Structure 1
């Protein structure tokens, strides 16, 4: 399996984020059911943004993760200020077998 860190940037007080959040969470729920979502959630430091960790079968790359995340309502509705997707290696991996 290959892992990817998806970093979202958005203002903590974004009304558009609040409006789109239910559809975003439905989308993430579908990824969880498919076994592709390891975890997700907003940063709690008051600066906004969120982290999503994906697990995709080999030989998936960043392009595959981006293609998948292009379906997120946050992106489709233009609610994000930025997005970064990076391949990630969980050296101490507690995610196997989930």
Structure 2
């Protein structure tokens, strides 16, 4: 699994304008089984995305979605995650 953490900065206008198309893509990724969950932090300072895909596929997704290049959206972490307990554990 891959965890992507975003950080939001500056004026949110551009980010909020780009969000509907971004969320449509996230919904398709979820329906296809590539995205487990995604959403903003409660304080809207950033977001977390959890992918069930390999790193190359996640990087391709990030490159294809203009949201990640929107002013005020910064990818701060892309890490492999190995759940040990819970529904996602092997």
TM-score range, shorter chain: 0.7 to 0.9
Corresponding position of 1:48: 45
Runs of 4+ residues deviating >2 angstroms: 76-79
Task: Choose between structure 1 and 2: higher helix proportion.
Answer: 2
Cα RMSD for the two superposed structures: 2.1
Q: Distance in 1 between matches of 2:44 and 2:68?
A: 19
Single out whichever of 78-87 and 17-26 deviates more from structure 2. Answer: 78-87
Which structure 1 residue ranges, 5 or more long, are not aligned? none
Which structure 2 residue ranges, 5 or more long, are not aligned? none
TM-score (normalizing by structure 1)? 0.76
Aligned length: 89
Q: Distance in 1 between matches of 2:6 and 2:27?
A: 17
Corresponding position of 2:68: 75
Q: Distance in 2 between matches of 1:37 and 1:74?
A: 16
TM-score (normalizing by structure 2)? 0.82
**Counterparts in 2 of 1:10 and 1:89: CA distance versus 1, 3 Å:** same
